Amino acid sequence: MMPDETPQSAEPLIELTVNRVVEDPNTDTRILVLSRTDGTPDHFMIWVGASEGESIRRALDTSVTPRPMSHDLVRSFGEHLGITTERVVIRDVKSSTYFATVYLENKGATRTIDARPSDAIALALRCHAPIYATPDVWRRRTGQNLDAWLNKLETKNIGAQEV
Amino acid sequence: MITQMQVKGLMFDPYNNAYIVILRDEDQTDMLPIWVGKSEASSISLALESVAPPRPMTHDFMKAYLDAVDAKVISVVITDLNENTYFAKIHLTYEDSEYTVDSRPSDAIALALRSEAPIFANESVIRKQSSEELDQWLENLKPEDFGKLDS
d(CA A124, CA A133): 13
d(CA A36, CA B16): 42
Q: List strands edge to edge, sheet with B18-25.
A: B31-36, B18-25, B2-13, B119-122, B72-82, B85-94, B97-103
Partner-chain contact A77 B61, CB within 8 Å: no
Q: What one-character DSSP code corresponds to residue A13?
A: P
d(CA A118, CA A99): 10
d(CA B127, CA B17): 25
- A49 CB near a chain B CB, below 8 Å? yes
Q: What is the pLDDT of residues B16-34, one digit of tens each?
A: 788 999 998 888 778 888 8
- Domain B2-145: assigned CATH number: 3.10.690.10
Nearest to B124 by CA among B77, B80, B82, B72: B80
Looking only at the bridges linking them, the beta strands covering B2-13 and A14-24 are unpaired
Partner-chain contact A74 B65, CB within 8 Å: yes
pLDDT score at B148 = 41
| Most A CBs within 10 Å, among B19, B36, B57, B61, to test the A interface | B61
Q: What is the pLDDT of residues B100-121, one digit of tens each?
A: 999 999 999 999 999 999 999 9
Domain boundaries, chain B: 2-145
Domain boundaries, chain A: 14-146
d(CA A121, CA B19): 27
- From the list B55, B62, B99, the residue facing A97 with the nearest CB is B55
pLDDT score at B144 = 52
Q: Quick one: pLDDT band at residue A1, thresholds 50, 70, 90?
A: very low
> B73: which strand partners?
B92
A-B CB pairs within 8 A amount to 77
- A113 CB near a chain B CB, below 8 Å? yes
- A74 CB near a chain B CB, below 8 Å? yes
d(CA A65, CA B106): 15
pLDDT at B56 over 60: yes
- From the list A49, A74, A115, the residue facing B39 with the nearest CB is A49
C-alpha A145, offset from chain centre: 20
Q: What is the pLDDT of residues A150-163, one digit of tens each?
A: 776 776 544 444 43
d(CA A6, CA B56): 23
How many alpha carbons fall within 13 Å on the CB side of residue A62?
A: 2
CA B39, B42, B47, B48 torsion-angle sign: positive
Q: What is the ipTM of this complex?
A: 0.87
pLDDT score at B135 = 63
pLDDT at A8 over 60: no
pLDDT: is B74 or B132 the higher one?
A: B74
Partner-chain contact A67 B59, CB within 8 Å: no
Partner-chain contact B56 A119, CB within 8 Å: yes
Q: List strands edge to edge, sheet with A84-94.
A: A43-49, A29-36, A14-24, A131-133, A84-94, A97-106, A109-115
Report in angstroms the alpha-carbon separations of B125 from A22, B63, B69.
Answer: 39, 27, 33
What's the CATH fold of domain A14-146? Bifunctional nuclease domain (3.10.690)
